[in-house]
Amino acid sequence: ETGVTQTPRHLVMGMTNKKSLKCEQHLGHNAMYWYKQSAKKPLELMFVYNFKEQTENNSVPSRFSPECPNSSHLFLHLHTLQPEDSALYLCASSQEEDSIYEQYFGPGTRLTVT
């Protein structure tokens, strides 16, 4: 898990707050991902970045704003969230090899919106 780090590990925020989640990968990968994991639901892909360019936005509400300044860092900026946005937010990275993307996940940020 040390290949992909996420901060903070836990976050409690009010609906009017603005906060950011940070992800850093130390694996030299060129693709990074944000996932949302809610209780009793499958892992939901939110955003995909490949070589810093966003290649997927999976119909995510605009209150979630991703940023990828370079291939090693990925942010998720949060503002005016809803209680239903409380979930575990997972970051992952991968390196394409022969059309295969094996993903390496960080430990996640447990977000609670009050």
Q: Is 15 in the site for other proteins (CB under 8 A)?
A: no
Which amino acid, residue 86? S
- Identify which of 56, 55, 53 has the alpha carbon closest to the alpha carbon of residue 45: 56
Q: Is 45 in the site for other proteins (CB under 8 A)?
A: yes
Q: Cβ 93 to other proteins, closest distance in Å?
A: 9
Q: Is 13 in the site for other proteins (CB under 8 A)?
A: no
- For the stretch 26-57, what's the b/e string if a residue is b when 16 or more beta carbons lie within 10 angstroms of its beta carbon? eeebbbbbbbbeeeeeeeeebbbbbebeeeee
Q: Is 42 in the site for other proteins (CB under 8 A)?
A: yes
Pairing status of strand 64-70 against strand 73-79: antiparallel
Q: Cβ 105 to other proteins, closest distance in Å?
A: 4
- Identify which of 62, 32, 63 has the alpha carbon closest to the alpha carbon of residue 48: 32
User: Rule CB under 8 A: which of 51-70 touch other proteins?
Assistant: 55-56
Q: Cβ 16 to other proteins, closest distance in Å?
A: 27
- Residues contributing to the site for other proteins (CB under 8 A): 1, 4, 31, 33, 40-43, 45, 48, 50, 55-56, 88, 90, 92, 94, 96, 99-108, 110
